[in-house]
């Protein structure tokens, strides 16, 4: 049976989502063709006549996931979501409410408020949060399609700093848990997927690699390896002693 990721009734075979904050043709091409990304996030900003539009880089079969970055309150995020829907023609919205400029920490309470409003308006809301079980439950009650906890602050490549808190969300929350920030290496993507995360989102880790296409492929393999390991069910751990793996009888002396 095919292993699909379902978000708001839409299905995807890929569990790697690309952020496009640091983008180039090479990065988008690598993410789509080597990392097999089917979802790419984008931000909304005022037009600049000189800039080439990012949409010209995006293959048609890729789902655009607009974000509300730049929003510092629920009200601003709702406005940005409305603009995004008009532009993309789709209901997907990656909800980000980030008043803090130093650590880029999301405001969980404002995020819940915006989720309530947007879900009622028919958006497929994918909120970015600091991993917290109570907030995640409130998000689900408010109609969130996923919960997207940060692994480490945005753009840091620091890996699974919030690992234990993310594990609680994976164990207790029924909507997809998508790891949203901080994943710096394919091994960390694999570890998160092996824990039971439903997908990984990354950008900086690929964009700042020396060989982008090769790193994109490494991320695909990492995500796939972790997913298969999760589905397979990792073997048990023996806390003390050892278990012989060769026969203890029939030894030649």
Partner 1 sequence: MVIVNGEPVAEAVGLNIQTFLEQRQTPVDHVVVELNGHIIHRPEFENTTLSPNDKLELITFVGGGR
**Known catalytic residue at 158:** no
Span interacting with partner 1, options 36-44, 105-113, 132-140, 239-247, rule CB under 8 A: 36-44
Task: Report how far apart the first and last C-alpha atoms of the chain are (Å, whole number).
Answer: 51
Span interacting with partner 1, options 105-113, 158-166, 198-206, 214-222, rule CB under 8 A: 198-206
Q: Is 155 annotated as a binding residue?
A: yes
CB 91 within 8 A of CB 123: yes
- Residue 139 interacts with partner 1 (CB under 8 A): yes or no: no
Residue the block writes with tokens 């848990």: 177
Strand bridging mode 199-202 / 178-179: parallel
Size of the site for partner 1 (CB under 8 A): 38
Q: Is 11 annotated as a binding residue?
A: no
Question: How many residues make up the chain in this entry?
Answer: 253
Q: Alpha-carbon distance 150 to 177, whole Å?
A: 10
- Residue 181 interacts with partner 1 (CB under 8 A): yes or no: yes
3-class SS of residue 140: helix
Q: Which long-range contacts (CB under 8 A, 24 or more apart) does 46-55 make?
A: 54/20, 54/23
Span interacting with partner 1, options 58-66, 108-116, 118-126, 190-198, rule CB under 8 A: 58-66
The residue annotated as part of the active site, out of 22, 36, 94, 120, is 94
122 φ/ψ sector (left φ>0, alpha ψ -120 to 50, else beta): left
Give the nearer residue to partner 1 in terms of CB position, either 124 or 181. Answer: 181
Give the nearer residue to partner 1 in terms of CB position, either 69 or 146. Answer: 69
**Contacting residues toward partner 1, per CB under 8 A:** 18-23, 41-47, 49, 51, 53-55, 64-67, 69, 82-84, 86-88, 94, 154-155, 180-181, 201-204
Enzyme catalytic residues:
94
């Amino acid at each position: 049976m095919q292993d699909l990721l379902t978000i708001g009734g839409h299905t995807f075979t890929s569990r790697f989502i690309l952020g496009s904050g640091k983008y180039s043709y090479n990065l988008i091409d690598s993410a789509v063709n080597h990392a097999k990304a089917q979802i790419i996030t984008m931000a909304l900003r005022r037009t600049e006549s000189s800039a080439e539009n990012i949409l010209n880089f995006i293959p048609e079969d890729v789902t655009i996931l607009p974000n509300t970055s730049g929003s510092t309150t629920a009200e601003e995020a709702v406005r940005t979501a409305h603009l995004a829907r008009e532009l993309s023609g789709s209901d997907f919205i990656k909800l980000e409410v980030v008043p803090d400029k130093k650590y880029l920490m999301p405001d969980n309470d404002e995020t819940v408020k915006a989720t309530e409003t947007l879900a009622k308006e028919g958006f497929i809301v994918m909120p970015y949060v600091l991993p917290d079980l109570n907030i995640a439950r409130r998000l689900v009650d408010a109609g969130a399609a996923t919960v997207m906890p940060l692994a480490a602050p945005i753009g840091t490549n620091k890996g699974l700093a919030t690992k234990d808190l993310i594990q609680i969300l994976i164990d207790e929350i029924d909507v997809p848990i998508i790891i949203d920030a901080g994943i710096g290496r394919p091994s960390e993507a694999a570890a998160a997927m092996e824990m039971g995360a439903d997908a990984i989102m990354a950008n900086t880790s690929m964009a700042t690699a020396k060989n982008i296409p090769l790193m994109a492929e490494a991320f695909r393999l990492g995500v796939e390896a972790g997913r298969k390991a999760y589905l397979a069910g990792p073997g048990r751990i023996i806390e003390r002693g050892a278990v012989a793996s060769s026969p203890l009888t029939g030894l030649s002396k």
